[in-house]
Amino acid sequence: MPGGNGFMRLLNPGPVTLTERVRRAMLRPDLCHREPEFSELLGDIRSRLARVYPEAADQYTAVVLAGSGTAAVEAMVGSLVPRGGKALVVANGVYGERIASILETQGKPLEMIRSAWTEPIDLDAAAAALDRDPTITHVAAVHHETTTGRLNDVAALGRLCRERGVGLLLDAVSSFGGERVDPEAWNLEACAATANKCLHGVPGLAFVLVRRDVLESGTSAAPGLYLDLFRHYAAQSAGHPVFTPAVHAAYALAEALAELDESGGWHARRAHYRRLSGRLRAGLVSQGFRLLLGDAAVYSASLTSFDLPEGVDFDALHARMKRSGFVIYPGQQALCGSIFRVAVMGALTAEDIEEFLKVT
Ligand SMILES: *Cc1c(COP(=O)(O)O)cnc(C)c1O
């Protein structure tokens, strides 16, 4: 029978296969976002988001936005990198390079340290740039670079930021809720994420976790109106969203966050992902597939990239897997046609992985 949920099992890195509990949450009564019931729902989501990493709960606040993960990243760098400031973007994949494109579009000064997509972020070059250029106000980077599945060494990058008093802006879109985030040690000013990856909600809502003092006492550098975090923060703190939110996605996110909490929080989720990915990697490697990054230890818990074997076409592999009830994910841009990616986010079980390995 294809699909533990009766349909498809999504092995792409979000949107994820939903639990029935989260899916049903969207059937709750229609709700006007100006009613007290929505204020309560939004308050619940914001406080749950700030408590996913309990050590962040005191100093950070969550600002919820309608949109996908990119909206949150754009709101974060747009609102927080001052017009007269400068961002150092440390990139090794599509999403790091996207941060640089966003800043460029916004007309904000930036320097990019770009590594090959199969390489780690270049920490030496980042340190040298920070030491050379005192006008750099922020470092921006990606935690889990979904392009390849590499979990970047943000602990080391954060240390560089902390030593120099430069704020770190982190794209944690594909890691939030499924990997360790250490706000204090990383000198984290903000991180951006989405409802529909490791948190197991539905697409439609994204959010930025921001140091509260920055929003309380700073000034907005937002180049536009809709993605101005300061404006959203002021309204949400007063109980209401500024613009029409994705109400049903909010029901789903609140439920998904409750489910995360009840199942043991991010530690348990990461452990679950590790078990599934460990089995998946061992199984595919024993079938002759090769890890793109060579070493299983450099990957995140939730995603693995494999070289497409000689003579195997992604579309054909994808179509075959889909007939068995699984959706796998291609490479992006330069890696399109040479790799495939398998994520274990969402309502997937060890049995799903065993079944997947039988049909590859
Ligand atoms: C998914 C993802 C994004 C955002 O993509 P959207 O399609 O806008 O949700 C940003 N950064 C990373 C690292 C991602 O994995």
What tens digit of pLDDT does each residue of 292-338 get?
999 999 999 999 999 999 999 999 999 999 999 999 999 999 999 99
β 326-327/303-307 pair status? unpaired
For residue 120, count CB atoms less than 10 angstroms from its CB and return exposed for 0-12, middle for 13-18, buried for 19 or more. middle
Task: Please tell me the distance from the alpha carbon of residue 122 to that of residue 76, in angstroms, as a whole number.
Answer: 23
Given this model, what pLDDT does residue 319 score?
A: 96
Q: Which of 119, 122, 227 is nearest to 111 (CA)?
A: 122
**300 C-beta closer than 6 A to ligand 1:** no
Q: Is the pLDDT of residue 278 over 80?
A: yes
111-170 confidence digits (pLDDT tens) = 999 999 999 999 999 999 999 999 999 999 999 999 999 999 999 999 999 999 999 999
Instruction: Say how many Å lie between the CA of residue 199 and the centre of ligand 1.
Output: 13
- Is the entire prediction scored with pTM above 0.75? yes
**Do 195 and 202 touch, CB atoms closer than 8 A?**
yes
Q: Which atom of ligand 1 is nearest to the CA of 142?
A: 13
**Mean pLDDT confidence for 269-293:** 98
Which residue in this structure is represented by tokens 């003579």?
311
Give one DSSP letter per residue of 52-93, joined into a string. SSGGGTTTEEEEEEES-HHHHHHHHHHHHS-TT--EEEEESS
Q: What percent of the chain has pLDDT over 90?
A: 97
3-state secondary structure at position 310: coil
Ligand 1 pocket check: which of 171, 175, 227, 332 to mutate, most ligand atoms within 8 Å of Cβ? 171
pLDDT at 5: 46
Output the CA 333–ligand 1 centroid distance in Å: 15
Distance between CA 11 and CA 305 in Å, rounded? 12
74 ligand 1 Cβ < 6 A: no
Instruction: Decide if pLDDT at 241 tops 90.
Output: yes
Indicate whether residue 173 lines ligand 1 (CB < 6 A): yes
What's the 70 CA to ligand 1 centre distance in angstroms?
Answer: 6
Overall average pLDDT of the 330-350 stretch: 96
Could you tell me the two tokens for 262?
A: 């009840």
In the prediction, which pLDDT does 7 show? Answer: 77
Percent of the chain that is helix, strand, coil (3-state, to 5): 40, 20, 40
Ligand 1 pocket test, candidate residues 146, 148, 302, most atoms within 8 A of CB: 146
Residue 4 predicted with pLDDT over 50: no
Closest-lying ligand 1 atom to the alpha carbon of residue 93? 13
Both tokens of 121, joined, read: 């972020």
Per the CB < 8 A criterion, the answer to whether 328 and 11 are in contact is yes
Q: What is the rounded distance in angstroms from the CA atom of residue 142 to the CA atom of residue 338?
A: 23
CB of 171 within 6 A of ligand 1: the answer is yes
Provide the angle, in degrees to the nearest 10, between the axes of the packed helices 350-359 and 314-323.
120
Ligand 1 centroid from CA 158, angstroms: 21
Q: What is the CA(52)–ligand 1 centre distance, in A?
A: 19
Q: Which residue minimizes the CA distance to atom 6 of ligand 1? A: 69
> Does 69 sit in the ligand 1 pocket, CB within 6 Å?
yes
Q: Give the residue-averaged pLDDT of 168-175.
A: 98
- Section 199-211 average pLDDT: 98
pLDDT of residue 6: 54
Ligand 1: does its nearest atom lie under 6 Å from the Cβ of 147?
A: no
User: Is the CB of 196 inside a 6 Å radius of any atom of ligand 1?
Assistant: no
Virtual torsion, Cα 303, 177, 226, 42, nearest 10 deg = 140
The pLDDT of residue 58 is above 90: yes
Mean pLDDT (the chain) is 96
